[in-house]
Amino acid sequence: MRKIVIEGGNKLYGSIKIQGAKNSVLPLLSASILNEGISVFQNVPNISDVAAAMKILRHIGCTAELSGGALTVDASVISTTEIPDGLMREMRSSVIFLGAILARCGEVTLSYPGGCELGPRPIDMHIKALRELGADIHEDAGKIRCIIPAGRRLIGRRIDFRGPSVGATENAMIASVFAQGTTVIANAAKEPEIWDLQMYLRKLGADIEGAGTSVITVRGIDTCAMNVTHTIIPDRIVTGTYLCAVAAAGGEVLLTDCGPTHIESLLTVLRGWGCEINTSKTSIHIKTAAPRTASGSVVAEPYPAFPTDAAPTLVAAASAVSGNFVFVEKIFSERFKYCRELEKLGAEITLFENSAMVSGGKALCGASVDATDLRGGAALAVAGLCASGITEIGEIQHIERGYEDLVRDLRSVGANIMYMNTPERSESAGAAKRTEKPDGAGGGQGRLYA
Ligand code: EPZ
């Protein structure tokens, strides 16, 4: 089993190029199904969720090839409208394919996406939007089948969401591109990824406006057959991860190819802790000149409020610096699962209902821990950077869903971090084998982390 192994204590110096946004590329790949031409996406992160999305595209008849950060999709032929259970299980957010296949083919069948490590992930708002646009929805035996009645198109109308949902907003935007008439999506999510989707849909010829506000308007067109290129926006959550790593471990790092305005809420918090942060249009320079003191609180709510996905690594950073900090979570019921693992490293966290109070400044000590989810796993790495001794992180498949190469990036700024293949629990307890990453950025020789 492959683990991430960290020997804490190093400050971080250098620069890191930020990858493209996981939560942008996934809806964009779904939207590419609308296009009978060729879509080329640039700045695509090489992560397992993208691999899973490519499998789904190929399964329904598209070609999808990723090379050097460019992902080319040819959706000219769609041969099936059903996504099998196995592919649905590989990526929880596969529900994002619902609207695109329905709009392009007139029907779609997929199995209910299960809950995930963050708790139940209902899709009632997705279903509501498609039903209100005129689709017949059949749910049985764990499957959802959406059908546009024969000879009809989806009919544009006003859709009022009870609250902002990123995925439901995206499904409604995509499904309404071919609807007859105008669709107004009210109480829409405002995340930057919604804006990125709107910009791509416009390149396909869609008549769409309002992304980034709570009202998005889509005037239906008949078809899309364009050869287009689209560059994915930077990943604001990965940006936040590395900002928290520096705030926790100390040092001076320049993050390039990122979107500072997309992570303003975190920049405000870290400046309040005493981090020196300067930004340009596409870069963030963070420096920890003085000791940091974490004080205050954040409430994780829909954008532009503090993002729930940026909370775990900030909790890790709050554990490493002095002071007390309170996190209130209003999006996911199981967001704080990773805190139990942080406590194995010595973090002092009090959980109460949907909040976590971190008492920082305790000395963190290396330990063997397991990633509970994508961002929780990244939080363990941030804490490991500050823990004395060795931290081993297992279950890193969670981390690989959203980070192109956490080890490569942190190692490039001086962290003592590497991948290690350890015997499977069922194998004899042999010595852990060092592992070289294909590009040789792995454990190296001599001292474990030299
Ligand atoms: C997106 O998930 C992101 N995933 C999540 O990132 C992110 O945490 C989340 O938005 C919130 O910002 C992708 O974009 C692929 P929601 P999504 O619909 O769309 C409830 C990561 O780590 N809800 O905005 O699934 C829901 O339970 C992932 O990168 C319903 O009740 O989130 C939640 O409480 C984790 N019914 C709230 O709305 C529905 O039909 C917001 O969820 C849909 C959602």
CA dist 265 and 261 (Å) reads 9
In the predicted structure, residue 416 carries a pLDDT above the cut 90: yes
Beta carbons within 8 Å of 181's beta carbon, 6+ residues apart: 155, 156, 157, 219, 220
Please, which pLDDT band fits residue 387 given cuts at 50, 70 and 90? Answer: very high
Has residue 425 got a pLDDT over 70?
Answer: no
Catalytic residue among 105, 116, 275, 339: 116
How much is the average pLDDT of 295-299? 95
Read off the pLDDT of each residue in 109-129 and give the average, rounded to a whole number: 88
- Look up the pTM and report it: 0.94
- Is pLDDT of 446 > 70? no
Question: Would you say residue 61 has pLDDT above 70?
Answer: yes
Q: Is the distance from the beta carbon of residue 168 to the nearest atom of ligand 1 less than 6 Å? A: yes
Domains present along the chain, CATH in parentheses: 2-19+234-434 (3.65.10.10), 22-231 (3.65.10.10)
- Average pLDDT of span 371-390: 98
Query: Residue of the nearest CA to atom 28 in ligand 1?
Result: 309
Indicate if the pLDDT at residue 448 is higher than 80.
Answer: no
Q: In which band, very low, low, confident or very high, does the pLDDT at 427 lie, cut at 50, 70 and 90?
A: low
Strand ranges for 220-292 from DSSP E = 228-231, 251-256, 276-279, 284-287
Return the ligand 1 atom nearest residue 303 CA: 12
pLDDT digits over 141-188, tens only?
889 999 999 999 999 999 999 999 999 999 999 999 999 999 999 999
Look over the chain and give the mean of its residue pLDDT values, rounded to a whole number: 93
Ligand 1 site, residue 236, Cβ cutoff 6 A = no
For the cut 70, the answer to whether the pLDDT of residue 318 exceeds it is yes
Ligand 1 atom at minimal distance to the Cα of residue 170: 19
> What share of residues in the chain are helix, strand, coil (percent, to 5)?
35, 30, 35
Model confidence pLDDT, tens digit, residues 325-374? 999 999 999 999 999 999 999 999 999 999 999 999 999 999 999 999 99
* Percentage of the chain modeled with pLDDT above 90: 87
pLDDT given for residue 141 in this prediction: 85
Annotation marks residue 275 as catalytic? no
Residue 449 pLDDT exceeds 70:
no
Identity (one letter) of the amino acid at 255? L
Kindly state the average pLDDT of the residues 57-74.
97
Query: Does the beta carbon of 25 sit less than 6 angstroms from any atom of ligand 1?
Result: no
SS3 140: strand
In tens, the pLDDT along 201-252 reads: 999 999 999 999 999 999 999 999 999 999 999 999 999 999 999 999 999 9
Angle between helices 166-175 and 124-132 (to 10 degrees): 20
Residue 117 above 60 pLDDT? Answer: yes
Q: What is the pLDDT of residue 443?
A: 37
pLDDT at 221: 97
Count other C-beta atoms under 10 Å from residue 151's C-beta. Answer: 6
